[in-house]
Structure 1
Amino acid sequence: MCGIVGYIGHRDAFDILVKGLHRLEYRGYDSSGVALVNGADELHVYKAKGKVSDLEHAAEGKDCSGTVGIAHTRWATHGEPSVRNAHPHVSNSGNLVIVHNGIIENFALLRDQLKQRGFHFNSDTDTEVLVNLIEYAQQTHHCNLAEAVRHALRKCIGAYAIAVLDQRDPRTLVAARKGSPMVIGIGENDSEFFIASDATPIAEYTKNVVYVDDEQIAVCHPGQPLDITDLRNQHVDVSVKTIDMDLDMLDKGGFPHYMLKEIFDQPNCLRDCMRGRLFAEDDMGGNDAYDPSTGYADPNVHNDVVLSAVRNNRDRLLSASRFIIVACGTSWHAGLIGKQLIEHYCKIPVEVDYASEFRYRDPVIYPTDVVIAISQSGETADTLAAIKLAKEKGACIFGIVNAVGSSIARETDTGIYIHVGPEIGVASTKAFTGQLTCLILLALALGHTKGTIDEKEYVDMIHELNAIPAKIEEVLKHNEDIRLLARTYTYATNFLYLGRGWNYPVALEGALKLKEISYIHAEGYPAAEMKHGPIALVDNMMPCLFVATHHKGYEKIISNMQEVKARGGRIIAVVSANDDEVSKIADAVIEVPDTLAPLAPLLSVIPLQMLAYHIAVEKGLNVDMPRNLAKSVTVE
């Protein structure tokens, strides 16, 4: 959701900024812009509605020189998508320029106060209010840019990540954040600095980064160390981290879309997720998942799940009276399966909450609770706010995130990185299966430590989980069949997804994928609930997709299919291999390899991802960047 890129140093800034904007396109946006200060200390701002390529066209043939600049991709919050609302925004004097992620909640009051002091506004945005507030602070206090930013931000209520330039001082770039992510890359010998919403635009140039924390202001001045202070003007120790990002993961790898690539990435992603954590002894006595680089270099470890988060927080986790999972969207669906896993293997009660509702309903939280926060980006605003509330109540916070160094990762007491690599497609695929794999590992490790899981079942689950990546590869071989099937259903305006038990959340996830990228209305339901309302919608224009693998509830879900069939409904079914019952009822069948019931979602979700993808492609839609959506939801 919105993207910031900034650069100050010795290189031409324009190419770095535009390439960085392209790297951040996956976050979702509707307009973009760039501001540059050239060698004559002249400020040039170029904006465009639409894609970054439109911005490049708008800047073509114009002065794009300069070694300092800021750039932005905007996801509209205040004001429609348009050039006048696009960032960067310039102050009334024309000296200051800003890019901003987040929302200034009291912007209307601040705007009225500034109007009374003679300021005028050309856009509908809260961002233009902020840059003029900084200018007013500079004029009133006769201070430098960093101090003016500090004065202004003290008056702001809400979330922000900002980068600000003053054309009169082009050797200084100021950045600040609260509730919206920001990372600063440091060049060799502090010769240059890179600012971005996440590390993807930075990794090409430096591995040394600093994650800016809430209410901190960073001053970048080439040739001098990065200077960070808080809103009280207290100096903060600069903690430099080393990032390890494979830039090849940011390319499509020969696939037509990132989403399809990420669907096909899943076998290797899950191997990476399990490496060093899952130790499964194969038939030859070898340890398939053993990796001495992890620090668990014990060749005597066999048929075990080893999680440092469980080892290092054993007492707190074992004494938990309750787990509370907070998440949004796809992560919430993973949490629903996580609830079943933890209750089944650990015998601990689990609640699953939408993070956006959790923080506002005065939740009852005890110090004996463990709150599990699930987020791909690690920056989801509602989830971050939920865990801060839980921390205030004394709960232990356990994070499951993908982005190393993200805000949620830093706020939690412990947790697990899912290690599936950058996910560029807005519709999450590999992050879901990665989150689910981590929840399985957590439930197994904790259940084994508590002694609440049968030893044979524990070993069977380890062996079968170790085999899941290869079984996903078998599912992916059906891609062409699913593509042909998708053509049949592009006509649909509504879809019903149905599942039971472990597969009920998979039905929810499949419906979400279809909604997100094909714009077909779809709803997921527990199959038995169909009779309590949704069956009224069923006719020959309403496809019903059943997730009906051969596990508990299989016979009952066949009965549900018969009810749909009797009303003229068209049925697509995801079934276990060699199923010979459903094929007699369904109009189309997609087989997945057989597996243990708790692991079925890892396989049954794959065809649903592919079906949604191919339906959207057949409709000619932008699969990677669907309308109105953003990858990282950093506002409420």
Structure 2
Amino acid sequence: MCGIIGYTGFREASAVVMECLQRLEYRGYDSAGLAVVGGQLHLFKKVGTIGDLAADVPDMQGGTAIGHTRWATHGEVTLANAHPHTDCRREIAVAHNGIIENFQKLRQELQRAGHTFASETDTEVVAHLIEDAYEGSLPQAVAAALKKIEGSYALVAVAREEPGLMVAARRESPLVVGMGDREQFVASDVPAFLPFTKRVIYVEDGDLVVVRPDSVQILDPAGRQADREECLITWDVEDAQKAGYEHFMLKEIHEQPISIAHTLRGRLSEIEPQVLLEEADLGETDSLAIVACGTSCYAGMVGAYIMEQLASIPVATALSSEYRYFGQKRGTVIGVTQSGETADTLGALRAAQRHGCRTMAITNVAGSTATRIADATILTRCGPEIGVAATKTFTSQVAVLVLLALKMGLSSGVLQTDAVRGYVSALRHLPSAVTRVLDREEHLRQVAQTLASSRYLFFIGRGIHHPLALEGALKMKEISYLHAEGFAAGELKHGPFALLTPETPVIALVDDDPVRDKMLTNIGEIKARKSPVIAVAPDHDAE
């Protein structure tokens, strides 16, 4: 997940961009680079850390600069492949996130026209396309280049001949403008420039942004002046710092009691009882689908299970990347996305709208693209999530989906008042329940040590615990780099059993519910294969 930052203003741009790059380190990277416009176009790149890059960047004049942190996608981790990329004459520099799908064809055409390439990346094509179209106006050259590009991008470009100017654009990849006093920022995420300004504009798909120290001009895909809403960020720099924790993910795991409480605040009433979600009016619908990616999809699967139980309405779940190929033609589609900028989920919501479906977004970011394109929005309100792996946003997404299920059950008459009162009470106690789990961190560390030498692991569950098993396996892969698979426990006998050995730990999710006995049977079958079993179960379940 690469990071982009651009700055133009009254400060020394190289120092500002280096500071902003450090605030994007949470996104992960293998190399970093910086381009500064100051008389010449000065380019600095480094394979390694931003600290390594900073050691190579001298104090220098220049009020405009762009920076980038790269995760390798096209081309290996080399100095040549690090961003920013330049044209043949090193007059133009570009930093880019996304994938240029037709870059091979464009590269061949440019090479036939005499352009020489220094890297293996798709991004370098953009710099040469801008060079090809450049006639003294960077905005016009970027606009011409983008017409030839297929794929996704968030990019920012600068030119030696036009100091004090940045041109940015986006398609299916997030980009945000930060507006200051005599200075402006362009970034892939708000934390990059948060110490400097809280005034932002979220760039929309197809927008071209012309940025000068004293102005921001946005052009729509037709080249017309576009008015985009200015938003004020309500969280602080401190929220985007580690607060004494070793890393952001650990901090955000421990923030869950507070984040869940924020998600629920003002949305529950035990007096009536009722769920106060005025923004969640789905109207009458006989068909409901939840679309999402990764962790958000597993939250959606949990939500679908609860909705079917509490509201007696069938709910389909689909990966956003697949939904657009077979999406439903009626009813309501809910897109779940932490950032509100997940390209596949935005595409799925747009596809649903083309089919005449009503749409809703569940997201954590007010003003994001999802909130602008959906017919209705519910904010998770759990604060910024800086860690790459979703933690507190997952639990807040599930909390919102439970609220929505309760509201639907009440509206349809499926749920009775006493039942709702019980669920409302349980939700109010949820933050303290999470705190009790977090208090066992030392015990969990000891369990983790027993798994650290494993080559691969299984997670199993039934019913509502099946998507939780999938989420557990995803986190294990994403964070520990150990291979893990999540299964519905009843499916072990249809193939996965062949992989069970004494070296294959199985994490079993067991609750005091109607499928408990079946889970115990599955555990017995696993132990017969001599695979170690770690059960995640209620305190009172000694068995």
TM-score when scaled to structure 2?
0.97
Instruction: Report how far residue 116 of structure 1 moved.
Output: 2.3
Partner amino acid for 2:63?
T
Residue 217, structure 1, aligned to residue 208, structure 2: yes
Task: Using the TM superposition, give the Cα deviation of residue 64 of structure 1 relative to its aligned residue in structure 2, in angstroms.
Answer: 3.7
What is the letter of the counterpart of residue 102 of structure 2? N
What SS is found at the alignment partner of 2:192? coil
Counterpart of 1:134 in structure 2 is 130
Match for 1:321 among 286, 306, 320? 286
How far 1:11 moved relative to its partner?
Answer: 0.9
Aligned to 2:300: 335
For 2:223, the equivalent position in structure 1 comes to 233
Q: Which residue of 2 is the match for residue 36 of structure 1?
A: 36
Q: Which residue of 1 aligns with 2:9?
A: 9
2:278 to 308, 313, 332: 308
Aligned to 1:538: 500
Post-superposition Cα deviations, 1:307-353, rounded to whole Å, max 9, x if no partner, equal: 1222xxx3xx2321211111111111111111111111222211111
Q: Do 1:507 and 1:524's aligned partners in 2 also have CA atoms closer than 8 Å?
A: yes
**Counterpart amino acid of residue 300 in structure 2:** G
RMSD over aligned CA atoms reads 1.6
Amino acid at match of 1:340: Y
Q: C-alpha separation between the residues in 2 aligned to 1:510 and 1:531?
A: 20
Deviation of the 1:143 alpha carbon? 4.4
- Counterpart AA for 1:166: A
Distance (Å, rounded) in 2 between the aligned partners of 1:489 and 1:214: 44
Q: Give the match for residue 612 of structure 1.
A: none
Spell out the pairing of 1:522-533 with structure 2 (5 A cutoff).
522-533=484-495
SS in 2 for 1:482: helix
Matched residue type, 1:93: R
The structure with higher relative contact order (CA 8 Å, sep 6+) is 1
Q: Does 1:441 align with 2:437?
A: no
* 1:153 match: 146
Q: Does residue 90 of structure 1 match 2:86? A: yes
**1:202 partnered with 2:193:** yes
1:51 counterpart = 2:49: yes
Residues 221-620 of structure 1 aligned to structure 2 (within 5 Å):
221-223=212-214, 225-280=215-270, 302-310=272-280, 314=281, 317-359=282-324, 361=325, 363-366=326-329, 368-581=330-543
- In structure 2, C-alpha distance between the alignment counterparts of 1:545 and 1:512, rounded to whole Å: 13
Instruction: Give the whole-Å Cα distance in 2 for the aligned partners of 1:122 and 1:135.
Output: 15
Can you give the 5+ residue segments of structure 2 that lack an aligned partner in the other structure? none
Task: Output the CA distance in 2 between the equivalents of 1:67 and 1:246.
Answer: 26
Q: Deviations over 1:203-237 (max 9, x none)?
A: 211121111111111111223x3211124321112
Output the CA distance in 2 between the equivalents of 1:379 and 1:240: 17
Unaligned 5+ runs, structure 1: 282-301, 582-636
Mapped to 2, the partners of 1:356 and 1:109 lie a distance apart of: 25
Deviations 1:159-193 (A, max 9, x none): 111111111110211111111111111113xx110
2:108 counterpart residue number: 112
SS in 1 for 2:317: strand
Q: CA deviation at 1:151?
A: 1.3
Aligned to 1:179: 172
Question: Does structure 1 conserve the Cα–Cα contact (< 8 Å) formed by 2:261 and 2:431?
Answer: yes
Query: What is the match of residue 618 of structure 1?
Result: none
Paired amino acid for 1:328: C
1:538-564 CA-to-partner distances (Å, cap 9, x unmatched) read 232111111112122112211111222
8 Å contact from structure 2 (residues 327, 352) kept in 1: no
TM-score (norm 1): 0.83
For residues 343 and 534 of structure 2, the distance between their equivalents in structure 1, rounded to whole angstroms, comes to 36
2:285 touches 2:332 (CA, 8 Å); kept in 1? yes
C-alpha distance in structure 2 between counterparts of 1:239 and 1:26, whole Å:
28
**1:17 aligned counterpart, secondary structure:** helix
Confirm or deny: 8 A CA contact 2:99 2:151 kept in the other structure.
Answer: yes
- Which residue of 2 is the match for residue 591 of structure 1? none
The one-letter code sitting in structure 1 at the alignment partner of 2:52 is D
Query: 2 CA distance for matches of 1:6 and 1:405?
Result: 21
Alignment length (residue pairs)? 543
Contact 1:134 1:148 in 2 (8 A): yes
2:195 alignment partner AA: E
Structure-1 separation of matches of 2:473 and 2:201: 39
What CA distance in whole angstroms lies between the structure 2 residues aligned with 1:14 and 1:303? 57
Q: Output the CA distance in 2 between the equivalents of 1:5 and 1:456.
A: 53
Q: Name the CA distance, whole Å, in 2 between partners of 1:530 and 1:194.
A: 52
Output the CA distance in 2 between the equivalents of 1:580 and 1:381: 45
The offset of 1:457, in angstroms, is 1.1
Measured at CA, do residues 534 and 109 of structure 1 come closer, stay the same or move farther in structure 2, by a change above 3 Å? closer
Q: Secondary structure at the match of 1:103?
A: strand
